[in-house]
A and B are shown apart, each in its own frame.
Chain A
Amino acid sequence: MIITLVFLAALLAFFLGWILSRTVNVEPWVADGGTLNDRLPEILTVPRVALAIFLAAVSSLFALSISAYHMRMEFGHDWLAVPSPALLWVNSAILVLGSLALQWSWNAARRDDPVGMRRWLYAGGGLTGAFIIGQALVWRDLNAGGYYMTSNPANAFFYFLTALHVLHLLGGLVAWVRTVHRERKGAPPEAICSAVELCTIYWHYLLVIWFILFALLLTT
């Protein structure tokens, strides 16, 4: 649970700092002629804040899974590490490219370049699909090599964590499909830019999560 607690402590420290800055030097009982306003800075738009909060909840899910991983390693005495197939490195590279493609798509959207935006958006989706297929191949190879889910907790956690990550990517792909669909139906460029931006941030986030998981699987 240490990992989860460290994550939560960081989150709480940020939240406490923010709350204190908004509440300490305030006299709530004073009525005011002007209309006070302590809304969030303009850069924090509604979708951005929503995404940030969603990512906090997802982080909690992954932090807890990683904590469970460590605790199961400690509590049981039957842990046999899974070999890390070389394909995982290839997959990681594909996921990095997917993230980069979306970043370029977002850059193009901000430059008002619909052709580039579309091209890189499709590339990002395609690369993500390739990553998911790659992960499925890894599972198949491991299974063929006798690393069944049931034979060892390390295997079970390997499948569990990678599947959890793929599930989140699939969720992201739903948003991606919606963005592509809206773009084709001719939604206004600002709306598309915002949607591409959300996808991009989510992809970068899942890339970071993937590296954390990958490092965990490699080192234990």
Chain B
Amino acid sequence: MAELGHDATSYAPPREMPEMELPHSHSWWTTYVFSQDAKTIAIQYSVTAISVGVFAMFLSILIRLQLGFPNTFSLIDPSSYLQYVTMHGMIMVVYLLTALFLGGFGNYFIPLMIGARDMAFPYLNMLSFWFYFVSVLVLMASFFVPGGPTGAGWTLYPPQLISEGTPGIHGGVILMMISLGIFIIGFTMGGLNYIVTILQYRTRGMTLMRMPLTIWGIFLATMLALLAFPALLVAALMVLLDHLAGTSFFMPAMFSMGEQLPHEGGSPLLFQHLFWFFGHPEVYIVALPAFGVVSDILATHARRNIFGYRMMVWALVAIGGLSFVVWAHHMFVSGMNPYFGFLFATTTLIIAVPTAIKVYNWVLTLWHGNIRLELPMLFAIGFIFTFINGGMTGLFLGNVTVDVPLADTYFVVGHFHMVMALAPVMTIYAAIYHWYPKITGRMLNETMGKIHFWVTFIGAYAVFLPMHYLGLAGVPRRYFAYGETSPFIGESVITLNSFITVAAVLVAAAQLLFIYNLIRSRKHGKEAGPNPWNATTLEWQTEHTPPTHGNFGKELPVVYRWPYDYSVPGAKHDFIPQNVPPEEVEMADEGAARK
């Protein structure tokens, strides 16, 4: 048994938690639609994000159909192809991943895992979701304006963003910028809530160093987002001014269709700096919560304490801090000073150190663990694979000399889908399989889940691994068709593209199976009970499953230990929940003696 008392007791004396005043709902509208309960808001966020994500997945299938079987589908022309590419990227990065990890998981897990009744500002929290919802509607509306959505690529680089010839330069661009603006305002409201709740509403005994790593990940990612999203907001506002008012923040002097445009002297490079100042931290806004979730799931399903908890926390902090000083590695081919490139290559490669610490710690958590290959565990292990894979190619691209020939080829597409798409999505699935029983009270179907995992894991590798080869062969990204360059594009490239498309369709079908599983298990799944995985964190110790309004019973739980007391030597059970006091831990021999 653990020793009592250590120097951490020199903290402030225990103080009673102030009780929160919870806004109680009185009607169907305030219970299900304009709810102020973080759990309902979390589900609203998740359902919206997943719906829009499925739509973006459908767009990716259209992209793949064109690439795999050019000129077969009349639905896809060069303009719509670019629009699909743009919307696929933007939706996946901002409206799915950011919204789901912070809005969805953040809202559900923060209050439950830290032992709070709700978020600090429930009303603001509700507003945050509705801002997000409106931003999605505005984005979707761009499909219905003349010219359709913007087709400038998700990086939205001017000048082509708002120059004649790019699809969607009229309504599409404007709606995209407005939508991003609304999203950022909404996110700021939510983000304030997450941070204040974590800082101020932890229950008694829940010190910072007893928080599950999921909470650490969400906490730090929110900080990054609050500081990085303003860069996108500034850029979006300036683009709107360039486009609507005729200023020249980003637009250089240009001739278009034989006419000189009103702009002069603007700097497209300035946009790139602003965009990537947001864009790079954005990678970690998505990755840090994923790191946290994976750490918790690995520990729970390997029945071992996380290896190097303190190192894991510091690595998260280090990655978050470093993520602000690497943005220009996205701009190696923009003609920057070589010394500048060297500086950013160095900072980029330094990030590999804390990241490698995390990967080693995950693997060492599994080492000698009592691994249970349940569904969440399969996806979490899948995450380790895809993350290492994407991270390794990141080392290639982080070096200026290697990046220059590979820039804007499929190598880059392969890299960022491995590390930024597949790895977080694996985590999202791990998290949903892990926490669905708490959220609904029922288990997801195991067979369907296994099919989902294997098709997704192997299928996604079949999609993204060959892309690295395509990139090395020099195939550029974002091209609708290779046209007259086709003599330079080898036969193997064409065959591979068809192969990738078939794999992508299979992977997409597996995701539909997952959605079916989500809906079906809601009513027909096996009863889960309060704690099906024998986990230690507070959300599994609630009185009711799913947790009711106010989360915990009359008294808030008191925390006595960290969240990783799995397989503690001498204890009767292989897990000790965080709210079990040391004197109440059942010891194995005591149990035997009683018999």
Q: Which residues of chain A have a CB within 8 Å of any CB of chain B?
A: 1, 4-5, 8, 11-12, 15-16, 19, 22-23, 25-41, 46, 49-50, 53-54, 56-58, 60-61, 64-65, 68, 71-72, 75-78, 149-150, 153, 156, 160
Contacts and interface: CB of A to CB of B under 8 A. Distances in A.
11 contacts: A28-B562, A30-B6, A37-B11, A38-B11, A46-B200, A50-B121, A56-B227, A57-B191, A75-B267, A76-B267, A160-B238
B265 A77 contact: yes
Contact of A37 (B13, B234, B246): B13
B314 A39 contact: no
Contacts of A50: 120-121, 192, 196
A39 to B, nearest CB: 7
B233 interface: yes
A68 B234 contact: yes
A46 B17 CA distance: 13
B208 A23 contact: yes
Nearest to A26: B209
Contacts of A25: 7-8
Contacts of B317: 16, 19
Given A19-B317, A150-B245, A156-B247, A37 B6 contact: no
Nearest to A4: B277
Interface of B: 1-9, 11-15, 120-121, 188, 191-192, 195-196, 199-200, 202, 204-205, 207-210, 223, 226-231, 233-234, 237-238, 241, 245-249, 262, 264-267, 269-270, 273-274, 277, 305, 309-310, 313-314, 317, 321, 324-325, 558-562, 564-565, 576, 581-583, 585
Contacts of B274: 64, 68
Contacts of B585: 31
Contact of A8 (B120, B195, B262, B324): B324
Contact of A32 (B195, B273, B582): B582
Contacts of A35: 14, 204-205, 558-560
B277 A23 contact: no
B227 A11 contact: yes
Contacts of A12: 321, 324
A28 B209 contact: yes
Given A53-B195, A57-B230, A36 B270 contact: no
- Tell which of B15, B227, B559 has the most Cβ of chain A within 10 Å: B227
Contacts of B265: 76-78, 153
Nearest to B227: A60
A24 B13 CA distance: 19
B234 A65 contact: yes
A76 B264 CA distance: 9
A150 B247 contact: yes
Nearest to B305: A29
B247 A153 contact: yes
A33 B4 contact: yes
Contacts of B5: 32-34
Contact of A156 (B205, B248, B262, B558): B248
A153 B249 CA distance: 7
B12 A39 contact: yes
A27 B7 CA distance: 9
A150 B565 CA distance: 63
Contacts of B247: 149-150, 153, 156
A31 B195 contact: no
Nearest to A1: B273
A31 B120 contact: no
Given A27-B6, A32-B6, A50-B120, A60 B192 contact: no
Given A56-B227, A156-B241, A68 B6 contact: no
A56 B245 CA distance: 30
B8 A30 contact: yes
A72 B3 CA distance: 61
A189 B216 CA distance: 37
A49 B8 contact: no
| Most chain B CB atoms below 10 A, which of A32, A38, A60, A71 | A32
Contacts of B241: 149, 156, 160
Contacts of A78: 248, 264-265
B230 A64 contact: yes
A169 B559 CA distance: 43
B214 to A, nearest CB: 15
B200 A39 contact: yes
Given A36-B8, A72-B270, A29 B196 contact: no
Given A5-B325, A31-B582, A54-B192, A64 B9 contact: no
A60 B230 contact: yes
Most buried by A among B270, B576, B583: B270
Given A8-B227, A150-B262, A160-B241, A29 B560 contact: no
Contacts of A54: 188, 192
Nearest to A51: B192
Contacts of A36: 8-9, 11, 14, 205, 207, 210
Nearest to B263: A150
Contacts of B196: 46, 49-50, 53
Given A37-B11, A38-B208, A49-B200, A71 B582 contact: no
Contact of B560 (A1, A15, A19, A32): A32
A32 B205 contact: yes
Given A4-B277, A68-B274, A30 B314 contact: no
Contacts of B325: 5
A15 B210 CA distance: 19
A65 B277 CA distance: 12
Contacts of A53: 191-192, 195-196, 226
Contacts of A58: 230
A23 B561 CA distance: 15
Contacts of B234: 61, 64-65, 68
Contact of B310 (A23, A30, A41, A72): A23
A76 B248 CA distance: 10
Contacts of A28: 209-210, 309-310, 562
A157 to B, nearest CB: 8
Contacts of B15: 37, 39
Contacts of A61: 230, 233-234
Contacts of A5: 324-325
A58 B585 CA distance: 48
B277 A64 contact: yes
Nearest to A12: B321
Question: Max chain A CB contacts within 10 Å: which of B120, B196, B228, B562?
Answer: B196
B582 A27 contact: no
A60 B223 CA distance: 11
B200 A40 contact: yes
B249 A72 contact: yes
Contacts of B121: 50
B276 to A, nearest CB: 10
The CB with the most chain A CB atoms within 10 A, among B191, B247, B310, B583, is that of B247
Contacts of B277: 1, 4, 64
A212 to B, nearest CB: 16
A32 B7 contact: no
